[in-house]
Structure 1
Amino acid sequence: MSGIYIHIPFCKQACHYCDFHFSTSMGKKDAMVTALCKELELRKQEFRNGRVETVYLGGGTPSVLHVGEIQSIIDTIYRHYEVTEYPEITLEANPDDLSAEKIKELVDTRINRLSIGVQSFFEEDLKLMNRAHNAQEAEACIKEASRYYDNISIDLIYGIPNMTNDRWKRNLEKALSLNVPHISSYALTVEPKTALAHFIEKGIVPGVDDAVAHEHFTILSDTLEAAGFESYEISNFGKPGYFSKNNTAYWQQKKYIGIGPSAHSYDGERRGWNVNNNPTYLKAIEKGQLPMETELLSTTDKYNEYVMTGLRTIWGVSMDKIKRDFGKNYAAYALSQAAKYLEDHLLYLDGDTLLATKKGRFLADGIASDLFMIKLG
């Protein structure tokens, strides 16, 4: 399985918490679409022995593109790559972009999955985050999109300053009432140099409380699992048949290429990342050059990444796989480091597979870091 990620580096306005690469200036949007298509063509040999099963347009805000621009990117993929008969093709979209007219136009493209950045159904949260949409637009666009699309995911953020447990529960109740089959939900994090970090430093906004975020995560898990969702990854909940193939591929370390400024790629042996500067990216692609740096992964790098991704998912970390791919010393080390977490019931063994308990899921990243190998090469 192989996937293609397309980074659309434009947003109408900057969300206060976001540190992703984007520009609020749309002046080079046409040139960027042309460059994305050219990079796709330049890199087609990377998939010469593989078929594309997922395409994900992320960002940034891909829904700021005109439908014709979206279609030109998808057409370029079909022209230069072998695509499976039933690929998952996802468009990230903001509610304020998804008018009834735009949704109808998207139906005529190959987009078959929408990921809608709702974040919250409450105005006070949206204003604090500086989102471009309001709560009414969020609900209206989901209802309209559901008339045409069966496979819809929404994003929600918890742990927002001043968000009570009750408001978080009502967010989830609203999401469930709209019958979406997939929800991605993340704890608000304070990234350096963002507006949110500045507001917290100046005392304008209270800081993020980890204990509150943990409570919200427990409410999230309990509520969605009771409603028939499965937490196939810590932040991703899907009903049967609606797990994101794109997300699953990342967590199971499948190969993918990233197109566009700041996009990352992975081929099983190397990671690569494009320059995170729009003008530099455009100039390089225009010359037929790939503005990418690469890193060859060591055995230890691969082991650490497998542990990090595996513990976040329902598939866990297989000791047999570690022995087979990395060696017996790595498996012995993983089990020795996991011992205290097994004793504290934060991890458990199912056969040869190490998994996070319900209690341990919120702490999975920290637990994984304790299982990282730092001495072997």
Structure 2
Amino acid sequence: MSGIYLHIPFCKQACHYCDFHFSTNPQLMDKMVDVMCGELMLQKDYLGKSSQIKTIYFGGGTPSLLSPGQLEKLLDAVYENYAVSPEEVTLETNPDDLTSEKLQAFKSLGVDRLSIGIQSFNDQILKFCNRAHNAKESVQSIELAQNAGFQKLSIDLMYGFPAEDHQIWERDLQKAMEIDAGHISSYCLTIEPKTAFGVWAEKGKIHPNSDDFNAEQFEMLQEKMESNGYVQYEISNFGKPDAFAIHNSNYWKGVPYLGIGPSAHSFDGKNRQHNISNNVKYIKGIENDSPAIISDPLTDDDIINEYILTSLRTIWGTDLELLRNRHQLDLLGKHEPLIQTLQNEGLLVIRERKVILTKQGKLLADLIAEKLFI
């Protein structure tokens, strides 16, 4: 079982918080689609000839900028070069890109899950972030998707915006629960150095919140989701029991995947690689049958540590028997005093031979994982 991720590196405009690879110049979009089809052919043996593709994920950037024809061309290339038995085909979208006609076209092509980049239902926050949509379009986009027959919907929400109190976040959470899309991905604002926010913070134009302030908003998120029947199946992801994202869940479980497009990352189960984060150089490399790929070889310890880091983020936890059988590692024996301390502090539990973080432990997930690394 494997997945394919396709990175569409184009956006209408640059959000002030974003440090992903993208371009606001759409002139190369047709060429990019053709070249990504070429990479799909060049990389068809990366996951192994017998590998079954179960999930396809269009990320970015803004994949909803693709025309139905461009999306169809990419999907055709996937089906022509891989053994595909899809359980989930996801398209990341922005609210302002969605029309009834476009949604019906996407659905007819086999897209069955939408991830809609709402970020906030507050117009001031959206303007502050330089988003291309407004709050009204956020609500309308979800209604359009539901009317088009999309039963698997996810909305993105951000918290941690500079503020004096939690009122805006409280209203965003309440609005999300009224809409009840079934899945919510929620991330704390991180101010990255080369973004507009990073520049503003350096100049003192904005002031990041304290860690305690952001932690309070995270706890509000957990409480609101739980009280409305959502399961925190991964630290930043909440879904109704039948609405978990399969593709992203597979990332956290260590399932191999192939990344296509500039800056896309891949994992074959033993090693990682990623494409160059430059549209022109990426295109040139594929056209010359010499893709600009950077290898990221992993040691056995790297693989174990990555598994600990990602699995601890989930409700399924770190499987002690998997580590013992696959890697000959007795994690409990190696870290017994530390694990006992973390249990006593209420940060994790051992259940059915799995190390699972508590609600409190999820606030310190990365720190705990680092302590458990070998």
TM range (shorter): over 0.9
Q: TM-score, normalised by structure 2?
A: 0.96
Specify the alignment match of 1:208 in structure 2: 209
Give distance in 2, aligned partners of 1:170 and 1:153: 18
Specify the alignment match of 2:163 in structure 1: 162
Specify the alignment match of 1:338 in structure 2: 339
Q: What pairs with 1:43-54 in structure 2 (closer than 5 Å)? A: 43-47=43-47, 48-54=49-55
Specify the alignment match of 2:95 in structure 1: 95
| 2:116/2:156 contact within 8 Å kept | yes
Q: What do residues 19-45 of structure 1 show as CA deviations (whole Å, max 9, x unaligned)?
A: 101111111111100011110011112
Further displaced range: 250-259 or 105-114:
105-114
| Deviation (angstroms), 1:308 | 0.2
Q: What pairs with 1:123-202 in structure 2 (closer than 5 Å)? A: 123-148=123-148, 149-162=150-163, 164-202=165-203
Give distance in 1, aligned partners of 2:120 and 2:187: 11
What one-letter code is carried by the residue in structure 2 that aligns with 1:117? G
**CA gap 1:268/1:251 in 2 versus in 1, 3 angstroms:** same
Give distance in 2, aligned partners of 1:321 and 1:192: 38
Give distance in 1, aligned partners of 2:98 and 2:83: 30
Specify the alignment match of 1:296 in structure 2: 297
Specify the alignment match of 1:75 in structure 2: 76
| Deviation (angstroms), 1:291 | 1.4
Secondary structure of 2:194's aligned partner:
coil
Specify the alignment match of 2:226 in structure 1: 225
Specify the alignment match of 1:268 in structure 2: 269
**CA gap 1:216/1:104 in 2 versus in 1, 3 angstroms:** same
Specify the alignment match of 2:246 in structure 1: 245
| Deviation (angstroms), 1:117 | 0.3
**CA gap 1:287/1:163 in 2 versus in 1, 3 angstroms:** farther
Q: What do residues 108-135 of structure 1 show as CA deviations (whole Å, max 9, x unaligned)?
A: 2111110000000001111121111111
Runs (4+) off by over 4 Å: none
Q: What do residues 246-293 of structure 1 show as CA deviations (whole Å, max 9, x unaligned)?
A: 011000000100000000000111101011111100000001122111
| Deviation (angstroms), 1:330 | 4.5
| 1:96/1:137 contact within 8 Å kept | yes
| 1:322/1:331 contact within 8 Å kept | no
Secondary structure of 2:118's aligned partner:
strand
Specify the alignment match of 1:63 in structure 2: 64
| 1:100/1:141 contact within 8 Å kept | no
Secondary structure of 1:173's aligned partner:
helix
Secondary structure of 2:46's aligned partner:
helix
Specify the alignment match of 2:236 in structure 1: 235
| 1:231/1:238 contact within 8 Å kept | yes
Give distance in 1, aligned partners of 2:320 and 2:147: 45
Q: What do residues 84-128 of structure 1 show as CA deviations (whole Å, max 9, x unaligned)?
A: 1x4300000001111233222222211111000000000111112
| 1:188/1:208 contact within 8 Å kept | no
Further displaced range: 16-25 or 40-49:
40-49
Give distance in 1, aligned partners of 2:337 and 2:320: 12
Specify the alignment match of 1:116 in structure 2: 116
| 2:163/2:209 contact within 8 Å kept | no
Specify the alignment match of 2:8 in structure 1: 8
What one-letter code is carried by the residue in structure 1 that aligns with 2:155? I
Give distance in 2, aligned partners of 1:269 and 1:222: 38
| 1:122/1:135 contact within 8 Å kept | yes
What one-letter code is carried by the residue in structure 1 that aligns with 2:153? I
Give distance in 1, aligned partners of 2:331 and 2:180: 44
What one-letter code is carried by the residue in structure 1 that aligns with 2:244? F
What one-letter code is carried by the residue in structure 2 that aligns with 1:214? A
Q: What pairs with 1:13-24 in structure 2 (closer than 5 Å)? A: 13-24=13-24
Give distance in 2, aligned partners of 1:87 and 1:349: 31
**CA gap 1:95/1:11 in 2 versus in 1, 3 angstroms:** same
Give distance in 1, aligned partners of 2:225 and 2:199: 33
Give distance in 2, aligned partners of 1:216 and 1:35: 42
Give distance in 1, aligned partners of 2:209 and 2:190: 8
Aligned residues with identical type, % of pairs: 44
Residue 32 (str. 1) matches residue 32 (str. 2): yes
| Deviation (angstroms), 1:320 | 1.9
Over the aligned positions, Cα root-mean-square deviation in angstroms equals 1.4
May I ask how many residue pairs the two structures share in their alignment? Answer: 372
Residue 355 (str. 1) matches residue 356 (str. 2): yes
Secondary structure of 2:147's aligned partner:
coil
Specify the alignment match of 1:314 in structure 2: 315
Give distance in 2, aligned partners of 1:234 and 1:44: 32
| Deviation (angstroms), 1:163 | 6.7
